Structure 1
Amino acid sequence: MQVIIFDDAQQVAVNAAEWVAELITKKKNPVLGLATGSTPISLYQQLVNKYKAGELSFKNTTSFNLDEYLGIDADNEQSYRHFMNQNLFNHVDINIDNTFLPTCNQGENPREQGLAYEEKIKQANGVDLQILGIGANGHIGFNEPTSSLASRTRIKTLTQQTLNDNSRLFNKDEFQPTLAMTMGIATILDARYVLLMATGESKAQAVKDMVAGPLSAMCPASALQMHENAIILLDKAAASKLEDQEYYHWANNQNIKVNEEFGLYHNY
């Protein structure tokens, strides 16, 4: 697990964009795993800026999102399809037919839809780089605490903490889903690289549990300890409860030298 600590959230977004841009630039048909939520918005802004500046093209890129609310229409402003369209897809040259979310419409069997999503990822030859945020309770995607570390794309019931955290996005009289489809933890771990972004003091305990705590289903993000290529990008606030920060800074300085010579990725 490579932990990189920056002064602020903006630097986290800029650095994350460099990882994404190098993959898209150097691989012929890159496959991105994308996340929603407040943290990756700044990353998507950076990528849109690179596209508008002529530095980046998404025309050969395929994407798979982590999750989607159950039974919500794509044109609903609360859907993650709408989120991705508004924050990224509508502003770059990606082929919208190559952008996928784990949807489950009214009347569809969520178990079958989960299996179908796994098959789509397999047919695309897997995810090259999976973008992640982390919930205050340690969830990744909508894999809430107690989720199986061997889980695959499936339906999940959201915890009250997650519902409370997300309630700010819904009007008081607006329906807030309590169920969602999400990639499983094992699905996430199949990605060749994982890039997790965390900013703000509210994420500090979850970050500590992920990086330095035991491998536990009570902190789903701790499963990233088992990933060969997990990159954790933090601002100072999110890293505030981590011990031995001097080592993380020193190790990152050494990695910078290697990356400058050989690039960010050692394989695809």
Structure 2
Amino acid sequence: MRIIITDSYENMGLEAANIVAGQIYLKPDSVLGLATGSTPVSMYQRLAAVHKSVGLDFSEVTTFNLDEYIGMAPENPQSYHYFMQEYFFRHINIRPENVFLPDGMADDVVAEGNRYEKLIAAKGGIDLQVLGIGQNAHIGFNEPDVKFAATTHKVELDEETIQANSRFFKNSDEVPRYAISMGIKTIMMAEHVILLANGRNKAEAVYKAVCGDVTPEAPASILQLHRDVALILDREAAALLPASIPGVPIRRK
């Protein structure tokens, strides 16, 4: 694990975009795992800007998103399908046939999870996985106490997650109670992982991920065991981390 602490949300996105762009330059047919939510928006904006300014080429890239709400149609403005089109895919030259998200409208969620896992395997696995982190230290929609061995599966959202996500809806009653998400095992099988976090409300979750015990009660803590993971944080999200951590390089920018 290594940590990059930046002085702003925008620079957090810049650092993350540089890593993703580097991955694509080194391997043009990279398989990327992508996240939604407000945290990675600055990264997506920067990547789109690099595409437009210097021609960063996404035409051979394949993407797999972490999750989708169950019962949410792709054309719904609150769906993660819609989010990815709005904030990223329509701004770059990625091929629609290379874009994959879980189907929240699937009649059989177990079968959909199995299908998604087979698609990832058929593409050779994920080269670089982008993550955010919830206030309860969830990654993807893997809530506390979800088994580390889970692959893509149905999850019931915690009340804390529902309240956090209610800012995207008219009220918390409109937030779906279930989602389909890549599991911890799927995430951990990625070759490289970057986790982004900004804001003081993420500081406790970041501390648990980096300094706490490895436990399903703090799902992101499993990343301590990944062979290549970088946390890219703004100063507020890093506020509770000690100045130095044995075995963890910290770079401040």
Q: Give TM-score, length-normalised by structure 2.
A: 0.96
Q: For residues 14 and 248 of structure 1, do their structure 2 counterparts lie closer, same or farther at Cα, with a shift above 3 Å needed?
A: farther
Deviations 1:162-203 (A, max 9, x none): 000001111149732110000000100000000000011000
In the alignment of these two chains, the number of paired residues is 253
Unaligned runs of 5+ in 2: none
Does the 8 Å CA contact 2:138/2:220 hold for their aligned counterparts? Answer: yes
Tell me if 1:64 matches 2:64: yes
Does the 8 Å CA contact 2:73/2:104 hold for their aligned counterparts? Answer: no
Counterpart residue number, 2:127: 128
Counterpart residue number, 1:91: 91
CA distance in 2, matches of 1:118, 1:205: 31
| Structure 1 residue 246 displacement after superposition | 8.2
Tell me if 1:196 matches 2:213: no
CA distance in 2, matches of 1:173, 1:46: 31
| Identity among equivalent pairs (%) | 42
Unaligned runs of 5+ in 1: 257-268
Deviations 1:107-140 (A, max 9, x none): x110110011000000000000000000000000
Q: For residues 81 and 140 of structure 1, do their structure 2 counterparts lie closer, same or farther at Cα, with a shift above 3 Å needed?
A: same
Q: CA RMSD in A?
A: 1.9
| Structure 1 residue 11 displacement after superposition | 1.2
CA distance in 2, matches of 1:77, 1:157: 21
Counterpart amino acid of residue 122 in structure 2: Q
Counterpart residue number, 2:217: 218
Which secondary structure does the structure 2 equivalent of 1:53 belong to? helix
Greater alpha carbon shift after TM alignment, 168-177 vs 120-129: 168-177
Tell me if 1:158 matches 2:157: yes
CA distance in 2, matches of 1:61, 1:250: 30
Counterpart amino acid of residue 199 in structure 1: N
Tell me if 1:74 matches 2:68: no
Counterpart amino acid of residue 209 in structure 1: K
Does the 8 Å CA contact 2:126/2:190 hold for their aligned counterparts? Answer: yes
| Structure 1 residue 8 displacement after superposition | 1.4
Counterpart amino acid of residue 160 in structure 1: E
Deviations 1:6-34 (A, max 9, x none): 11111111010000001111103110000
Counterpart residue number, 2:36: 36
